[in-house]
A = this chain, B = another copy of it.
Amino acid sequence: MRSLLLSLALLTALPAPAAPPDAEASDPARLGWMKGAPPPAERTIRFADGSYADFPAWRWSVSHFRELMPTVQVSRGLGAPRALPRTERRDIDGLRFTPLGGGEPITWAQSLALNYTDGIVVLHRGRIVYERYAGALTEEGQHGLMSVTKSFTGLLGAVLVAEGTLDPARRVDHYVPELASSAFGDATVRQLLDMTTGIRFSEDYADPKADVWQHAQAGNPLPKPADYQGPRSYFEFLRTVQAQGRHGEAFGYKTANSDALGWVIARASGQSVAELLSQRLWRRIGAEQDAYFTVDSIGTPFAGGGLNAGLRDLARMGELLRNGGRLGGQQIIPRAAVDDIRRGGSKADFEKAGYALLRGWSYRNMWWVTHNEHGAYMARGVHGQALYIDPKAEMVIARLASHPTAGNAANDPTSLPAYHALARHLMARP
């Protein structure tokens, strides 16, 4: 039962343990998780018993989800990868910045360990200027992106909107009649894309009756208990979502919106988000690795949090966006889709969600838009995963992480100002 309760919701969030070991003490290689044939019992990580989600085992799990559960390929195609040029800079590690909320300045290098960074790449003007790996991640591995997934699902939605395949003003039940009697039915696609739907979906992980656990139980690919009566797939769950509040009045960050968008995309395009992501992006950005989605028991990719990818491929995605959807002289995705993300959404709607650290931001097509003086926008995963695009500084940062606290408020103070400080540094000393 624990396995079902923990389950896939952990791809989006995990309760924080009391006093987690620091990055060095929780280093998966040092702890020897899953090393040996077989690994020692106390270093064996399993899916069914939920042990994969315990910190610090979690730090191994985030780089090995495919070994724990079924997944579907996001093919890169079969050609040669497109190389990212490289000019590494030695002046980044020592860069100092003041964390959000004040306190003593810390260095960029210090922030990486504080944030349990598993890998980070910085592109400046398209060149790799910085790259580090830690934890259980290597340059040949794929790491769970968790809610960064939402931004890619949202990007696919924005692309279909720009191409006219998806009408943002249409009701969701126009595309997915099965959602007519759920709270999603009379929301517009635009409201779904911007998460301004009025739906009941508690992501309070401390509450065992929170909707997020039902969502997770529905999506868990393991067999259900004999007495289980609930929904048995992501799609079945979405049909049960009830209304709370009115559509179009406020931003409310709720994973179910991304899964509903995934369903709308599948119906509008005739392809699952995994197939569409491969066709439109992964095989066109010069990716060096296939990516993958975790799936439920009927093979549905988890559009709200199940994408796993290599670090440099994540950076390639950021670089594509920074260049307005162009790569190598070709328009890969419509510029209008990228521009629509960059412009952002309603600041007033966003303000109502009460993010103390993100004042003045907005949310558009499932991207977080800073509206800072550089026009930066980002994708955010709950354990510190990030894809940060700073158009003015011509900078892209891709970061994968396994912070013990499931919530960006834990890592934002030492990551967001680091990104902006580096942007200013690269502009000052290009």
Please report A residues at the B interface, Cβ cutoff 8 Å: 3, 34, 37-39, 44-49, 64, 66-73, 75, 77-81, 139-140, 142, 221-223, 233, 235, 263, 266-267, 272, 288-290, 292, 295, 297-300
* Distance, CA A67 to CA B397, complexed state (A): 31
Q: How far is the CB of A255 from chain B (nearest CB, A)?
A: 18
Cβ contacts under 8 Å, A68 to chain B = 70
Complex CA gap A201/B289 in Å reads: 40
Beyond known contacts A47-B221, A48-B221, A67-B71: 18 more, CB 8 A cutoff: A3-B223, A37-B272, A38-B235, A39-B298, A44-B298, A45-B299, A46-B298, A47-B70, A47-B297, A66-B71, A66-B72, A66-B73, A66-B292, A67-B299, A69-B70, A78-B140, A80-B80, A289-B290
Q: Whole-angstrom distance from the CB of A144 to the nearest CB of chain B?
A: 14
- What residues of chain B lie closer than 8 Å to A38, measured between beta carbons? 233, 235, 298, 300
B235→A300 contact, CB < 8 A: no
Contacts known (A37-B272, A66-B73, A235-B38); A48 close to B140, Cβ less than 8 A: no
User: In the complex, are the beta carbons of B75 and A37 less than 8 A apart?
Assistant: no
Residues of B with C-beta under 8 A to A34:
299
Instruction: Name 30 A/B residue pairs within 8 A (Cβ), A-sorted.
Output: A37-B263, A37-B266, A37-B272, A38-B233, A38-B298, A39-B298, A39-B299, A44-B298, A45-B299, A46-B298, A47-B70, A47-B297, A48-B221, A49-B223, A66-B70, A67-B72, A67-B295, A68-B70, A69-B70, A70-B71, A75-B140, A77-B140, A78-B81, A78-B139, A78-B289, A79-B80, A80-B80, A80-B81, A222-B222, A290-B290
Identify the closest chain B residue to A267 (Cβ): B37
Q: How far is the CA of A71 from the CA of B223 in the complex (A)?
A: 18
Complex: how many Å from CA A219 to CA B116? 34
Min C-beta distance of A12 to chain B, whole Å: 20
Main secondary structure of the interface of A (DSSP, over half): loop
Minimum Cβ distance to chain B for residue A250 (Å): 29
Q: For A37, A49, A70, A222, which residue has the most chain B Cβ atoms within 10 angstroms?
A: A37
State in angstroms the CA–CA spacing of A103 and B242 once bound together.
67
A70 with B67: CB separation less than 8 A: yes
- Which residues of chain B have C-beta atoms less than 8 A from A288's C-beta? 78
Query: Is the beta-carbon distance between B67 and A300 smaller than 8 angstroms?
Result: no
Are B300 and A48 in touch, CB under 8 angstroms? no
Cβ contact within 8 Å between A300 and B37: yes
Report A64 CB to chain B, min CB distance, Å.
Answer: 8
Nearest-Cβ distance from residue A229 to partner chain B, whole angstroms: 17
The answer to whether B298 touches A48, judged by C-beta atoms less than 8 angstroms apart, is no
Nearest neighbor of A75 in chain B, beta-carbon distance: B140
Whole-angstrom distance between the alpha carbons of A290 and B81 in the complex? 14
Across the A-B interface, the 6 shortest Cβ-Cβ residue pairs:
A80-B80, A37-B266, A48-B223, A78-B288, A75-B140, A67-B72
Q: Which residues of B contact A49 (CB under 8 A)?
A: 223
Candidates B48, B263, B295; contact of A297 at CB < 8 Å:
B48
A68-B221 Cα distance, complex, nearest whole Å: 9
Give A72 to B73 CA distance when docked, in angstroms: 13
**Which residues in B have their C-beta under 8 angstroms from that of A81?**
78-80
Nearest chain B CB to A155 CB, angstrom units: 19
Instruction: Kindly state the separation between the CA atoms of A3 and B222 in the bound complex, as whole angstroms.
Output: 11
